[in-house]
């Protein structure tokens, strides 16, 4: 990431910028179209936003048009699925050039793996008597969208197998449940490398969500930083109150920049609405101080 200090950067360095740098559209596993989720963020008062669909950048062009119309600053971004020490972690790339060949090819390879996994998830559900899950999940996705577990969860709710998406994960799709299929995503060096090639800034997404202990977490932070990772989501819709303070400490300790995002997917499923993220804790340097 090239640094461009100057008046523009100075204006947006303030902690109280209303920023939401992590949310989804129906180009991945969100339910709103890119233009609708951007309009919603703007209507909710956001000033600086990033659409971070899983493993795909195809929603960004529509999001850009909506952001211009709503006069909100949009950063081109993506959320990349990574396998690190047998754990799935997510890395957000902010301020990427979405046309960069290395990134485009890397994401295409992840999506191929995703499609194979989707077929295996459907087979696993079939084995416990739940039929038609692949078609069902696809019905809940846009035709060009990736297929993710949220699409299966929405199908399972519709089929009466759970009262809501969260329950569907607890009963079927979460780790150790009958519809869970282990999968190897990109490596951490690959994901950070593609983001760097695209001129972007790598940010570790929602670290509080990973089921790892403190020693492993510290190793993740150290490796992430040593590979060129620059920021971490301190405030996230996926973080409980205590986890914000914990990751603010990690952010300082590892010399990272702080990011914030709702991880919004849907008005009826998400706890934090898009564009309504709490401010960063005091004393952290926000990622936007280096995104001129
Ligand atoms: P995938 O990348 O297809 O494995 O799906 C991961 C997505 O599933 C995450 O980005 C969340 O949107 C969602 N997710 C994961 N775990 C849960 C859970 N326990 N409850 C609800 N949604 C979840
Ligand atoms: Mn998701
Ligand atoms: Mn994520
Ligand atoms: Mn996300």
* Whether residue 154 has its Cβ less than 6 Å from ligand 1: no
What local confidence, expressed as pLDDT, does residue 102 receive?
Answer: 98
* pLDDT above 90: residue 146: yes
Bridge partners (DSSP) of residue 201 are 94
Question: Which of 27, 28, 29 has the most ligand 1 atoms within 8 A of CB, as the residue to mutate?
Answer: 29
* Whether residue 148 has its Cβ less than 6 Å from ligand 1: yes
Backbone angles phi, psi at 193, to 5 degrees: -65, -40
Least confident of 7-11, 141-145, 228-232, 278-282: 7-11
Query: pTM for this one?
Result: 0.95
* pLDDT above 50: residue 129: yes
- Residue 241 pLDDT class (50, 70, 90 cuts): confident
21 close to 12: Cβ distance less than 8 angstroms = no
* CA 36–ligand 4 middle distance (angstroms): 17
* CA 288–ligand 4 middle distance (angstroms): 19
% of the chain exceeding 70 in pLDDT = 95
- Residue 5 pLDDT class (50, 70, 90 cuts): very low
* Whether residue 166 has its Cβ less than 6 Å from ligand 1: yes
The greatest distance separating any two alpha carbons of the chain, rounded to the nearest whole angstrom, comes to 61
* pLDDT above 60: residue 10: no
Tell how strand 231-236 and strand 48-51 pair up. unpaired
* CA 30–ligand 2 middle distance (angstroms): 7
- Residue 89 pLDDT class (50, 70, 90 cuts): very high
* Whether residue 81 has its Cβ less than 6 Å from ligand 1: yes
What local confidence, expressed as pLDDT, does residue 8 receive?
Answer: 45
* pLDDT above 70: residue 69: yes
* pLDDT above 70: residue 269: yes
* pLDDT above 80: residue 222: yes
* pLDDT above 60: residue 11: no
* CA 23–ligand 3 middle distance (angstroms): 9
* Whether residue 152 has its Cβ less than 6 Å from ligand 1: no
Over residues 228-254, mean pLDDT: 97
- Residue 75 pLDDT class (50, 70, 90 cuts): very high
Question: Which of 118, 148, 271 has the most ligand 1 atoms within 8 A of CB, as the residue to mutate?
Answer: 148
Task: Report the nearest-CA residue for atom 14 of ligand 1.
Answer: 150
- Residue 13 pLDDT class (50, 70, 90 cuts): low
* Whether residue 265 has its Cβ less than 6 Å from ligand 1: yes
- Residue 15 pLDDT class (50, 70, 90 cuts): low
Q: Quote the CA–CA distance of 96 and 80 in Å, as a whole number.
A: 12
* pLDDT above 60: residue 217: yes
Question: Which of 107, 149, 268 has the most ligand 1 atoms within 8 A of CB, as the residue to mutate?
Answer: 149
Task: Report the nearest-CA residue for atom 6 of ligand 1.
Answer: 149
What local confidence, expressed as pLDDT, does residue 16 receive?
Answer: 81
* pLDDT above 50: residue 6: no
* pLDDT above 70: residue 78: yes
* pLDDT above 90: residue 7: no
DSSP 3-state assignment of 231? strand
254 close to 281: Cβ distance less than 8 angstroms = no
* CA 200–ligand 3 middle distance (angstroms): 18
């Amino acid at each position: 990431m090239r640094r461009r200090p100057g008046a523009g950067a100075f204006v947006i360095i303030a902690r109280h910028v209303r920023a939401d740098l992590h949310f989804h559209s129906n180009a991945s596993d969100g339910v709103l179209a890119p233009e609708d989720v951007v309009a919603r963020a703007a209507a909710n008062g956001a000033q600086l936003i990033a659409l971070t669909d899983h493993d795909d950048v195809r929603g960004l062009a529509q999001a850009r048009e909506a952001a211009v119309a709503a006069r909100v600053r949009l950063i081109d971004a993506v959320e990349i699925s990574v396998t690190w020490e047998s754990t799935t972690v997510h890395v957000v790339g902010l301020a990427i050039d979405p046309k960069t060949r290395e990134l485009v090819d890397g994401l295409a390879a992840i999506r191929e793996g995703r499609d194979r996994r989707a077929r295996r998830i459907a087979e696993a559900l079939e084995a416990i008597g739940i039929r038609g899950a692949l078609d069902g999940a696809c019905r809940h996705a846009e035709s060009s969208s990736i297929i993710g577990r949220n699409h299966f969860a929405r199908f399972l709710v519709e089929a009466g197998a759970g009262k809501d998406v969260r329950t569907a994960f607890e009963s079927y799709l979460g780790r150790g449940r009958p519809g869970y299929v282990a999968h190897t995503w990109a490596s951490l060096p690959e994901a950070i490398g593609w983001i760097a090639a695209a001129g972007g800034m790598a940010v570790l997404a929602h670290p509080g969500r990973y089921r790892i202990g403190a020693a492993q977490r510290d190793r993740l932070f150290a490796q992430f930083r040593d590979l060129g990772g620059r920021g971490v989501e301190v405030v996230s819709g996926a973080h409980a109150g205590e986890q914000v303070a914990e990751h603010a400490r990690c952010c300082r300790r590892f010399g990272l920049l702080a990011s914030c995002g709702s991880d919004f997917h849907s008005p009826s499923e998400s706890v934090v609405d898009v564009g309504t993220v709490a401010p960063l804790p005091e004393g952290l340097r926000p990622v936007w101080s280096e995104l001129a």
